[in-house]
Amino acid sequence: MNICAPQHSLAPLVHRLACIFDLSEAEKEAALALPADVRKIKAGQDLVREGDRPSRSCLILDGFVCRYAITGDGKRQILAFHTRGDIPDLQSLHLKVMDHSLAALEPSTVAFLAHEDLRRLITQHPRIGDAFWRDTLIDAAVFREWMIGIGRRSAHGRIAHLLCELFVRLMTVGMAEGTSFRWPITQAEVGDALGLSNVHVNRVLQDMRADGLISLAGGLLTIHDWPRLKELGEFNATYLHIRHAMPI
Amino acid sequence: MNICAPQHSLAPLVHRLACIFDLSEAEKEAALALPADVRKIKAGQDLVREGDRPSRSCLILDGFVCRYAITGDGKRQILAFHTRGDIPDLQSLHLKVMDHSLAALEPSTVAFLAHEDLRRLITQHPRIGDAFWRDTLIDAAVFREWMIGIGRRSAHGRIAHLLCELFVRLMTVGMAEGTSFRWPITQAEVGDALGLSNVHVNRVLQDMRADGLISLAGGLLTIHDWPRLKELGEFNATYLHIRHAMPI
DNA sequence: CGCCTATTTGATCTGATTCAAACAATGTGG
DNA sequence: CCACATTGTTTGAATCAGATCAAATAGGCG
């Protein structure tokens, strides 16, 4: 039984997996046939919370979500941004207790996939299991890259790197138009992601605009000078482990 | 064919997996029977380098190793510390190109496990595959926790957290005696791991000694006030996802 | 012993934070 | 369709945690 409305197929999942793993047609069909409970999520709403023991994982069909943790003194660290095709809490399939939370940054569409069904799919199609494993490994690679940024790069470098990463990832899922993409992330959220204050994020973004690197207005971000932005952020897409060469 | 010398059984691997996953006796035996090429590694030597496409992974039998990356301007970011029972580059089973390097921090003993053999083991014993997957997910959870530290905690908090984490992890593999454990990590390495300068690490460690939290001399670190150190580092071991409750 | 590496100390500097307040945009209900 | 509330952005000034630079000790080891 697939309770997913027809206009909300799991195509984004298959598209994402195909970006990182070579799936057969039979495997793609099996993935598409996963039962899914599709829901609209309001901005700011938590999908999963630290301490939860979820019995299903969230596939993002549309929108933006983030994973975050709150420190003892109430500061928020955003751990990752996710969008179409991502399953940010796929890990809960093997780690029972959530060690961080998941929230929507804007109104989003999410398909909930029961662990039970995912396990059955993996058993019947071990290569889909490999693809999922690979996906979680790439997730970890992104964490490592952010660690390098937060630990060793300047504020300008960190922000440039984040912009580059999001651009490449959004492009692979068809959410970029040319070098522009929707930007529903506030400056405070960028700060919480990169270990910076919102004030400083603001100043750096203004520098970048003044330098002609980017423009950002009305929720749309445009990259005007990709080579220079890439250099500033020391961005190299290898760690995203995308199978096909980027057109940029 | 097991070319591993008898005194170097793969017991640390089974012990580690048993810490995080419930394995049957048959599965444990199968893991122990993995062919392994055991080598002594000199301090400072790289085991794997960024850009490599390894055909085997490294199981640490004894010693300390770290994963690290070098930024464009030559700074080093240490991404993780690993010791007995860890397979720091298990990910290379599914991610062909290494996006960071792996080096020994002190003379270490390492068993190289061919991907081919690992894959065969996983196919024959899918639950061992699940255990490995779980291990890589915990690896990612550790990265996330470090991100929180680097992004949002003070230098004192970060260092306290690192000490707590290493203590718990070393304890689970029998490398701690009471609240003491061997500490072959230089202050510069701590700095590279936590995004701090060696000078500042030194000052913080001195504060901690003066406060009676720890002592550190002759490569031995002793925790004198676990509750206070834990509080200072906001340490909560949940993210390590260890199956059995800690005796502390 | 002498070399090399690690730790320690002091002085100075700076990127980024914090605090505070103005300003712009966006949405909501009457 | 406007008034108001809310949330996000921008600006300025003061401050600070931690970096950097430089040089002195202290270990460890062949």
Per-residue pLDDT tens over the stretch A180-237: 999 999 999 999 999 999 999 999 999 999 999 999 988 999 999 999 999 999 999 9
**What pLDDT was estimated at residue B244?**
79
Give dist(CA A109, CA A184) in Å, integer: 15
Quick check: A99 and B141 CB within 8 A? Answer: yes
How many whole angstroms separate alpha carbon B223 and alpha carbon B214? 4
Q: Is B239 on the interface with A (CB under 8 A)?
A: yes
Our measurement of the distance from residue A211's CA atom to the centroid of its chain's CA atoms, rounded to an integer in Å, reads 28
Q: Judging by DSSP bridges, how do beta strands A108-114 and A101-104 pair with one another?
A: unpaired
Positions in chain A whose pLDDT score sits under 70: 1-7, 245-248
Burial class (CB in 10 A: 0-12, 13-18, 19+), B89: buried
The pLDDT score that the predictor gives to residue A235 is 97
User: Does the beta-carbon distance from A75 to B238 stay under 8 Å?
Assistant: no
| CB contact B71 to A (< 8 Å) | yes
Torsion of CA A138, A140, A144, A147, to 10 degrees: 130
Cβ contacts below 8 Å, chain A against chain B, sum to 117
Give the global pTM: 0.94
* A100 shares contact with chain B (CB less than 8 Å): yes
More confident residue, B124 or B248: B124
The band of B218, judged by pLDDT with boundaries at 50, 70 and 90, is confident
Strand B176-177 and strand B180-182: pairing?
Answer: antiparallel
The whole-number average pLDDT for the span B52-76 is 96
The separation, in Å, between residue B200 CA and nucleotide D16 C1' comes to 15
Whether pLDDT at B2 is above 60: no
Among chain A residues, the shortest Cα distance to B136 is held by A137
Cβ within 8 Å of A, B 140-159: 140-141, 143-148, 150-153
B95 close contact with A: CB closer than 8 A? yes
DSSP B105: S
Assess A70–B contact: CB distance below 8 Å, yes or no.
no
CA-to-CA distance for B234 and A72, rounded, in angstroms?
Answer: 7
Tokens (6 digits) for A186: 């506030």
How far is Cα B223 from Cα B234, in angstroms, rounded to an integer?
16
Contact across the interface for B136 and A138, Cβ inside 8 Å: no
CA of B96 to C1' of D30 (A): 41
Q: Is B93 exposed, middle or buried (0-12, 13-18, 19+ CB in 10 A)?
A: buried
Q: How close, in Å, is residue B195 to chain A by CA atoms?
A: 4
Supply B98's token pair: 């290494």
Q: Does residue B150 lie within 7 Å of nucleic acid chain C, judged by its CB?
A: no
Quickly give B89 CA vs D27 C1' distance in Å.
34
Q: Which residue has the tokens 């943790």?
A: A69
